[in-house]
Chains A and B, each alone.
Chain A
Amino acid sequence: MLISSFIIIGCFISVIILIMTEKLNRAVAALSGAIITYFVLIFIENLNFSVVVDLLFGSSDDDYVNLHSLILIIAMMIVVLISNEAGLFQFIAVKLIILSHGKPIRLMIIFCVITVILSAVLNNILTVIILIPLTITISRILNIDPTPYILTQAVLVNIGGTIFSISSIPNILITTYAKISFTEFFLNVGLISLIIFGFTLIFFVLLYKNELVIPPGGAEILKEFDVWNFVPNKTLLIQTMIAFILLITLLVIIPPSIITPDIIAISIAAILIIISRLEPKEIIAKVDFELILYLISIFIIAGALEITGVTDAIAIFMSNLGGGDVLTEVLIILWISAFLSSSIDNIPITKVLIPVIDSIPVHENPQNKNLKFYSLAIGANWGDNLTPLGDNILVMNICEQHKRPLSLKQFFKLGFITTVYQLALVSLIFILIFELILGIILITTIFLSILTIYLLHKSSTKISQKIEKIFYKIRLYIIK
């Protein structure tokens, strides 16, 4: 068992390194790791092939969790592909942008809201592929620098990823495994994400308010931007809108014990393929099979880590680190998963940490286990912005292609500071849940500090100038 554990750990680390260094395609790297894992399980551990099938799709014991995740991911891909063909996302985005009437702060808020709405239903990559060229086009019309808008969008894409259980692959993996319903996830993670989004928005507005200036005239031209130019077919647009509303409604009203979310989503996807009259072959060809191959390979490697006892060892280590205190464990999971997913793809991190969390002994209320899963969902999704690696490289590339290059330094500073700020706020919420008095003390301290600064600011011109100068310097450090 020990030799197998070491080989599989080595295999997992090698796959991660290959993906990070981009030496090999991520699906091929993971597949190679999965093949080595297969040989270890069959020839060293003397297990039979049914174990590999169980790792791929799950077993009756875990209610075929992996298969459910795969079906849900494929179904969401199809629904999103057809909606994208219908121009639904661009249509909504431009409709909202026109509402800004060329007012800079309003435009910034609208861009941020659009980012969160889109990334709540799309994956991060598709969201930036749709939004960034659109933002640059709008900036060309309004005669403005798109940098603040793009940077804030790139940072907020991850918050949108934790609104719904279907918003990102880590969420799908977590909720399917832990049997967390769509509504339960939204009420516990989605709402927290929306609160943090509000705070982040305030932070961004304060940060960029002096930078956001729109020359006159642009708003009038923006009105002439014909939003219907994004729509190839009005009927298809309406069909996809109805499909999305129906999907969310069914996910909310039907309990997973009656019909699982993946079956609801795949049914909607099938209906949409039939009624859209799009060429099914073309839609199916656009499904990201590279991602599916990558996922199933990661399922095998992560499952093998569980079989060989590595997962249990990590769980014991994390439990000891937390000293049996649930709050500490939740915070450790939040920050560790965030920092791990800042440089490593969040899918393998999530897949490995899910059984780890499940193995951490529950000391008090069994409901607390779900809080650890919520913490993992937030950490794994939001951690991405701590470094300009991963999906953020795509943002830089798109900007460069459209002749509006971003500065890596600017991106790193804003991403890191905002993510730490967001994680600190979430930590505060968790502290309030577990240690109400400590939470209230912390909030009161923060509130009193802000009040003191405000009163000092109001007390005399000299102090006010000094405070403004300090804030100006901080602001400049972050955005320049």
Chain B
Amino acid sequence: MVLKNIQRIKSALPEVFHVAMFYNTGIIFQTTFEQNINIPKLGENLAELLNHVRKVYELCDFKMDNYRKFIFETDDVSTIIIKLGEDSNLALFFRKEEDKDLKLTGIRRYLNKIEDLIDTDETEILFFELATREKDLKIIEENFQQKQKSLTDLQTRESDKGLSESELGDIKKAIKNLEVECEQLRQEIEKKKAENQIIIQKIESKKKSP
């Protein structure tokens, strides 16, 4: 899937002769470079490069919440590093044949696709956790509704005049147990809802922060 997208990028931009997808840790996910190149070192140096630029920004007191791309041009090769996801980047190495502006907008959709494939940001994890919790909550709520229904049924039966003393005793005991269980479930639902609310707030605060 990822390789397919690399191929598409290469066909959309024929000037690209090498691609390296790397994380800020220096780990390279995929690259078109051959094994005779020291790939771990390449990843390490690309990550360091971004880190150094970050440090330069800090030193100059420039704001750097999010970088978008880093361009480095020489006579023969141009390098563009594009930010993919929260922690991943794509380095495109261009053979410089003639002077022309590079149109990267055309490959943006491939980049978004790759980003989804290889990098999850924290908000996505929170979304995933929320979905799992909502599923759990739904099960508990269904359980609660079932118990409530059983409770109502028993309460109706309790008013039946034809019941014997022992039957009535059993029903009363069952009602008492169900009431306790319903109360526990209600508390659990409230607790879960409150916890989910915290996660929603976290997601919202993450969305607001750059």
Query: A140 near B31 (CB under 8 angstroms)?
Result: no
Q: Tell me the chain A residues, 11-58 only, with Cβ under 8 Å from chain B.
A: none
CB distance from A186 to the nearest CB of B (A): 32
Query: A224 near B3 (CB under 8 angstroms)?
Result: yes
Q: Does A359 contact B (CB under 8 A)?
A: no
Chain B proximity mask over A443-463: 1 for CB below 8 Å, otherwise 0: 000000000000000000000
- Tell me which of A144, A220, A226 has the highest count of chain B C-beta atoms within 10 A of its own C-beta: A226
When A221-B2, A234-B35, A402-B87 are in contact, do A229 and B27 touch as well, CB less than 8 Å?
A: yes
Query: B122 near A140 (CB under 8 angstroms)?
Result: no
CB contacts (< 8 Å) of B38 on chain A: these are 232-233
CB contacts (< 8 Å) of B23 on chain A: these are 133, 137, 140
Query: B29 near A226 (CB under 8 angstroms)?
Result: yes
CB distance from A374 to the nearest CB of B (A): 38
- Measured CB to CB, the nearest residue on chain A to B85 is A140
Query: A140 near B120 (CB under 8 angstroms)?
Result: yes
Query: A404 near B122 (CB under 8 angstroms)?
Result: yes
Q: Tell me the chain B residues, 38-72 only, with Cβ under 8 Å from chain A.
A: 38-41, 43
| Complex partner residue of A140 from B41, B119, B128, CB under 8 angstroms | B119
Interface size range of chain B in the complex: 20 to 34
- Tell me which of A90, A143, A213, A228 has the highest count of chain B C-beta atoms within 10 A of its own C-beta: A143
When A87-B40, A232-B41 are in contact, do A402 and B2 touch as well, CB less than 8 Å?
A: no
Q: Does B12 contact A (CB under 8 A)?
A: no
Q: Does A434 contact B (CB under 8 A)?
A: no
Query: A229 near B29 (CB under 8 angstroms)?
Result: yes
Query: B124 near A143 (CB under 8 angstroms)?
Result: yes
- Measured CB to CB, the nearest residue on chain A to B136 is A210
CA distance A262 to B2 in the complex (A): 47
CB distance from B150 to the nearest CB of A (A): 14
CB contacts (< 8 Å) of B90 on chain A: these are none
Q: Does B204 contact A (CB under 8 A)?
A: no
Q: Does A139 contact B (CB under 8 A)?
A: yes
CB contacts (< 8 Å) of A229 on chain B: these are 27-31, 39-40, 43
Query: B120 near A133 (CB under 8 angstroms)?
Result: no
Q: Does A136 contact B (CB under 8 A)?
A: yes
Query: B30 near A226 (CB under 8 angstroms)?
Result: yes
| Complex partner residue of B117 from A134, A221, A403, CB under 8 angstroms | A221
When A133-B27, A402-B25 are in contact, do A213 and B1 touch as well, CB less than 8 Å?
A: no
Q: Tell me the chain A residues, 120-172 only, with Cβ under 8 Å from chain B.
A: 133-134, 136-137, 139-145
CB contacts (< 8 Å) of A287 on chain B: these are none
CB contacts (< 8 Å) of B153 on chain A: these are none
Query: A141 near B118 (CB under 8 angstroms)?
Result: yes
- Measured CB to CB, the nearest residue on chain B to A211 is B132
Q: Tell me the chain A residues, 223-243 only, with Cβ under 8 Å from chain B.
A: 224-226, 228-234
A and B contact pairs by CB, cutoff 8 A, 24 listed: A87-B40, A90-B40, A133-B23, A134-B27, A137-B27, A140-B118, A141-B29, A142-B120, A143-B125, A144-B125, A145-B128, A213-B132, A215-B128, A224-B2, A224-B3, A224-B30, A225-B30, A228-B39, A229-B43, A230-B39, A232-B38, A402-B24, A403-B87, A403-B121
Residues of A within 8 A of B (CB): 87, 90, 133-134, 136-137, 139-145, 213, 215, 220-221, 224-226, 228-234, 402-404
